[in-house]
Chains A and B, each alone.
Chain A
Amino acid sequence: MVSAVRSSDARRAAAAVLDPELRVLTIDDLGVLRDVTEDPATGRVTVTITPTYTGCPAMDVIRADIRAALTAAGHADAEVVTVYAPAWSTDWISEAGRAKLAAAGIAPPGPAGPAAGRPVPLTLTVRCPHCGAADTEQVSRFGSTACKSLWRCRACREPFDHLRAF
């Protein structure tokens, strides 16, 4: 058996797939895309991804979008493999991804640090992505998706999403 090799054009195609819930980020920006390999003998492409959250409903869409992107790039024989370890962390979001989030009005996450589990959590300050003020308050610990919380800026009064450190 010939071992699989990294495939740059297949990787480019998979890396351009957008996250269905954070449409400004690609799955590569997000750190969901882990690996893309190609079997030189058969041409079969294997894409490895990891979910942000175990119950993330976007994963089925992501898998379908990857297959469609690869087919369009000439790799019709593609398999998408999902792995769970190491567990995804917001620390894997690229610098480019953080800049795109901020530009879209979503406050990027701070460092995830060690796994939580403190009995009484402390809340860190989140800067307003609209005006940059630090005078903000959390409105809801959960936002429109599992990975976001909802905040409000006391300076400019605008509400905004914050991708919480995870």
Chain B
Amino acid sequence: MEYLLGLGDDALVAAQRLGEWVTVAPELEEDVALANIALDQLGAARLLLGYAGELEGAGRDEDALAYLRSDREYRNCLLVELPNGDFATTMAKLLLLSAYQLPLYAALSVGADERLAAIAGKARKEVAYHLDHASLWTVRLGDGTEESHRRMQAAVDELWPYTVELFAADPAAPVDPAGLRSAFLANVEPVLETATLDRPADGWGPDGGRAGLHTEHLSYLLAEMQVLHRAHPGARW
């Protein structure tokens, strides 16, 4: 249940952040792209949270878990809750997230839990396209103008420490995150190289997301996401 919440909350919070770009992306095509990627993440989040609610057996459905938990009850990694920043930061976040989700979903798709395997097998195909998309932009911006290179490098440098949390060992999990790091690096390092970007050095990274200890950014994100449901429970349109 806690593990599923981690997976589902990563996808849900990432979807919410990506959705913030709708109508304000640098070009119309990118507006559509980010909305579609957000929709994929939201689709995975709904299935994962729905399953988590069933396992809990307390009558909470996907909406109850999404709209009626406080920030301290969210189990997402810190990476996805950080503000979007500029477009380079958003693409760096998407690159790191999808490079992590791809091997994670691939491993879960052949796991013992059939229900989770089915969801992961589906999400894996979608995330592969997200990784392609983020990779293309990382190369375009990194190997672009002096200014775009500077911004892309700054984004990667700023976000790199947040990847430490993604691979914290958890031997009890269906897939131990520690075992995914080499596949993650194999997804990211060639992209950075092609983009003429320096791969940041590994070191300390902030964590706590999986235990419910978040940055204040998540609180604002949830306030916006949950306000309507909390003010008008069960509202439909």
Contact surface of A with B, Cβ cutoff 8 Å: 51, 53-57, 83-88, 115-121, 139-146, 150, 166
- B residues less than 8 Å from A117 (CB atoms): 102, 106, 128, 131, 187
With an 8 A cutoff between CB atoms, is B13 at the interface? no
Shortest A165–chain B CB gap in Å is 10
Shortest A58–chain B CB gap in Å is 11
The residue from B47, B121, B187, B190 contacting A86, defined by CB atoms under 8 A apart: B121
Q: Closest chain A residue to B103 by CB distance? A: A117
- B residues less than 8 Å from A150 (CB atoms): 29
Interchain residue pairs with CB less than 8 A apart (9): A54-B47, A85-B121, A86-B121, A87-B124, A119-B135, A120-B135, A120-B139, A143-B32, A146-B40
Does B40 lie within 8 Å of A141, measured CB to CB?
no
- B residues less than 8 Å from A143 (CB atoms): 32
Q: Closest chain B residue to A88 by CB distance? A: B122
Contact surface of B with A, Cβ cutoff 8 Å: 29, 32-33, 36-37, 39-44, 46-47, 102, 106, 114, 117-119, 121-126, 128-129, 131-133, 135-136, 139, 186-188, 190-191, 194
Does A54 lie within 8 Å of B33, measured CB to CB?
no
**What is the CA–CA distance of A56 and B43 in the complex, to the nearest angstrom?**
7
The residue from A84, A118, A140 contacting B29, defined by CB atoms under 8 A apart: A140
**What is the CA–CA distance of A17 and B104 in the complex, to the nearest angstrom?**
36
Does B39 lie within 8 Å of A116, measured CB to CB?
no
- A residues less than 8 Å from B40 (CB atoms): 53-55, 146
Does A84 lie within 8 Å of B132, measured CB to CB?
no
**What is the CA–CA distance of A153 and B61 in the complex, to the nearest angstrom?**
47
Given A116-B128, A118-B132, A54-B190 contact (CB < 8 Å):
no
**What is the CA–CA distance of A166 and B32 in the complex, to the nearest angstrom?**
18
Does B29 lie within 8 Å of A142, measured CB to CB?
yes
Shortest B121–chain A CB gap in Å is 5
- A residues less than 8 Å from B32 (CB atoms): 140, 142-144
Q: Closest chain B residue to A57 by CB distance? A: B39
Q: Closest chain B residue to A140 by CB distance? A: B29
**What is the CA–CA distance of A55 and B41 in the complex, to the nearest angstrom?**
7
Does A85 lie within 8 Å of B190, measured CB to CB?
no
Does A84 lie within 8 Å of B119, measured CB to CB?
yes
Q: Closest chain A residue to B183 by CB distance? A: A117
- A residues less than 8 Å from B118 (CB atoms): 83-85, 87
Shortest B213–chain A CB gap in Å is 29
Shortest B170–chain A CB gap in Å is 23
**What is the CA–CA distance of A166 and B129 in the complex, to the nearest angstrom?**
9
- A residues less than 8 Å from B194 (CB atoms): 119-120
6 nearest CB pairs, A to B:
A55-B43, A54-B43, A85-B118, A140-B29, A55-B39, A116-B128
The residue from B47, B131, B133 contacting A84, defined by CB atoms under 8 A apart: B47
**What is the CA–CA distance of A85 and B117 in the complex, to the nearest angstrom?**
8
The residue from B33, B125, B186 contacting A140, defined by CB atoms under 8 A apart: B33
Q: Closest chain A residue to B123 by CB distance? A: A54
User: Which of A86, A116, A144 is packed against the most chain B CB atoms within 10 Å?
Assistant: A116
Does B132 lie within 8 Å of A121, measured CB to CB?
yes
